[in-house]
């Protein structure tokens, strides 16, 4: 039966590969549309423009000047709306600018409505510091004929003047901008917003009533509420060391219910020698995870980095041979773990690298997604990438380019109903994370409704590592578009030597203290309450599974039941009946 199943998978796979790759490397031209709303009129100014002078250009160009070698002019639409135009541009940064003062440790959110004079093109906002440092603080694909919202932000590492300007590489286009805003926030204000969002997004109000058998409300009943499972996936990467270390097993299983194998499902781990597959370690880790109720993200089917292929793939295979080998690979790994995983990172780092595109044609990634979904239709398929939210200056994986790639994959024949997910790795450096930019990215990528997971969160070694890890995790957890977080962190004995949660003796590091604190904070602790004169208790509970025990006020009768709190029910009602 197993052999027949594998053959069926192989036949389906080969049909898919040759149908969608064809036999040459030429590729069709893709048509894609951005998922950012395209509006006839620009959105109003956020925060009244914040610290921007003349944000709506109601006073001609007051506060603004031409930047670079281009020219600027005011323009008035047929409806009487005033906006600014950068034209006669000779360089990407030729636009218009305004100088503002930023204060150390404050977070600044930026927004503007943008348009270009024809076609469509990426437009970015750039913050130019007196030190010569230029920070690309956000971008969007702007189109002619409509206004698109460009969002971004910075965290000021020192008090300084800064010049805000716009950038587009296609110098033949004019840049049109309206309703510019730059709003400062203290860290305390930012944290307050996070807490408010967590309450709104991750919790629901629950009215619980205790009654007697005749439905009469029971006043003064003692009620115990205990959360048994969280609905939000918050997990940790896992590697092969867990198979041989009891301490690692106990540490992991006591904390996490979600994981990603860091290397053990990758092609170079499963097939070091062509034709000799070995899934022993991955199977063992899968067994451990199942025994401990741990869900697994599949990582990964393919890695687009040419340096991260099995040695025999890079050195010996022609394009035709690679086409066959990749068909066998996707068939092997996806069929083997079909129905046992909650996600697949089908393509890893598809924006920075193009190994398969160069060998097999521009439609390589789209065909892999189509095939993976056919082989494992119940599992979500992710595009997994780094620097999209953690490093604003990496243009290759900018939010605009990420969305462009995802739209190309989804527009490919057969992929319209792909269960797509957005995977943002989140490998932050040792410096202050740019939470304002991170939030703008999550806003932008979350707008179309695809689930976002932070898939490999880590923070570089530095004196504030634990603090910065907490800031990143809080920002992700508080955002409504984020539906899961996996950290690539762990014990030092397992080789996690950048963001380490426990030392050689499995004692917590400061980063480990942060993770344990957040696990406890994002779960409703045991509650001991008493019903009012109508038999009610009103509480706000994190989403998840619960057990409630109610006891009458003299301790003679009690009842226990389980219930679930979900995001689909912002106001839930639970009734417990006691036979008295």
Contact 458, 499 (CB under 8 A): yes
Task: Please give the structure tokens belonging to residue 192.
Answer: 């307050």
List the catalytic residue out of 264, 456, 471, 551: 456
Q: Is 473 helix (H, G, I), strand (E, B) or coil?
A: helix
Contact 558, 580 (CB under 8 A): no
292: left (phi over 0), alpha (psi -120 to 50) or beta: alpha
With 0-12 CB in 10 A as exposed, 13-18 as middle and 19+ as buried, what is 465?
A: buried
Largest Cα span, the chain: 86
DSSP state of 266: S
DSSP string, 305-330: -GGGS-HHHHHH--HHHHHHHHHHHH
The packing angle between helices 2-21 and 364-375, to 10°, is 150
Q: Is 202 helix (H, G, I), strand (E, B) or coil?
A: helix
Verify whether residue 291 is a known catalytic residue: no
Q: How far apart are CA 541 and CA 230, in angstroms?
A: 10
Q: How far apart are CA 1 and CA 4, in angstroms?
A: 5
Verify whether residue 456 is a known catalytic residue: yes
List the catalytic residue out of 349, 470, 475, 551: 349
Q: How far apart are CA 13 and CA 18, in angstroms?
A: 9
Q: How far apart are CA 293 and CA 470, in angstroms?
A: 26
Active site residues: 349, 456
């Amino acid at each position: 039966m197993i052999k027949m199943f594998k053959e069926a998978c192989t036949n389906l796979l080969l049909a898919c590969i040759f149908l969608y790759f064809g036999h040459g490397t030429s590729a069709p031209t893709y048509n894609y549309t951005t998922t950012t709303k395209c509006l006839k009129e620009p959105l109003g100014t956020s925060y009244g423009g914040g610290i921007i002078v003349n944000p709506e250009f109601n006073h001609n160009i007051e506060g603004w000047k031409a930047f670079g070698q281009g020219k600027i002019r005011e323009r008035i639409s047929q409806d009487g709306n005033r906006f600014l135009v950068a034209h006669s541009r000779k360089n990407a940064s030729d636009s218009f600018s305004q100088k503002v003062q930023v204060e150390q440790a404050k977070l600044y959110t930026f927004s503007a409505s943008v348009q270009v004079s024809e076609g469509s093109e990426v437009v970015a906002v750039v913050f130019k510091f007196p030190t010569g440092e230029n920070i690309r603080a956000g971008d969007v694909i702007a189109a002619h004929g409509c206004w698109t919202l460009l969002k971004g932000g910075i965290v000021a590492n020192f008090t300084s003047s800064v010049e805000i300007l716009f950038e587009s590489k296609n110098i033949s286009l004019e840049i049109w901008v309206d309703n510019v805003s730059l709003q400062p926030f203290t860290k305390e204000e930012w944290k307050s917003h996070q807490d408010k969002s967590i309450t709104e997004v991750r919790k629901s109000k629950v009215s619980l009533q205790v009654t007697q058998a005749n439905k009469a409300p029971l006043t003064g009943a003692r009620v115990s509420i205990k959360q048994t499972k969280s609905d939000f996936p918050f997990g940790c990467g896992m590697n092969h060391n867990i198979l041989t270390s009891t301490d690692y097993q106990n540490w992991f299983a006591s904390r996490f219910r979600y994981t990603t194998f860091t290397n053990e499902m990758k092609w170079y781990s499963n097939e070091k020698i062509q034709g000799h597959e070995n899934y022993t370690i991955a199977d063992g880790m899968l067994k451990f995870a199942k025994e401990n109720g741990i869900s697994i993200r599949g990582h990964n089917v393919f890695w687009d980095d040419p340096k991260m292929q099995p040695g025999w793939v890079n050195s010996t295979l022609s394009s035709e041979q690679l086409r066959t080998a990749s068909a066998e690979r996707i068939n092997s790994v996806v069929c083997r773990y079909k129905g046992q995983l909650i996600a697949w990172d089908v393509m890893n780092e598809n924006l920075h690298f193009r190994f398969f595109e160069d060998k097999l044609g521009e439609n390589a990634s789209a065909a892999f997604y189509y095939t993976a979904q056919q082989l494992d239709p119940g599992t979500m398929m992710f595009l997994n990438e780094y620097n999209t939210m953690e490093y604003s200056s990496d243009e290759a994986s900018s939010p605009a380019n990420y969305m462009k790639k995802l739209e190309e994959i989804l527009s490919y024949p057969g992929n319209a109903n792909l269960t797509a997910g957005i995977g943002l790795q989140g490998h932050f450096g040792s410096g202050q994370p740019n939470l304002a930019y991170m939030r703008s990215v999550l806003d932008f990528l979350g707008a179309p409704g695809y689930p976002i997971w932070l898939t490999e969160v880590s923070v570089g070694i530095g004196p504030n590592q634990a603090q910065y890890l907490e800031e990143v995790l809080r920002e992700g957890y508080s955002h409504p578009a984020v539906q899961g977080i996996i950290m690539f962190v762990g014990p030092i004995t397992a080789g996690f030597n950048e963001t380490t949660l426990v030392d050689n003796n499995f004692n917590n590091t400061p980063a480990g203290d942060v993770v344990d604190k957040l696990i406890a904070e994002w779960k409703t602790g045991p509650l001991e309450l008493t019903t009012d004169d109508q038999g009610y208790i009103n509480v706000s509970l994190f989403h998840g599974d619960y057990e409630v025990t109610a006891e009458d006020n003299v301790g003679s009768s009690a009842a226990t039941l389980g219930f679930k709190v979900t995001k689909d029910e912002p106001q839930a009602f639970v009734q417990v009946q006691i036979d008295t």
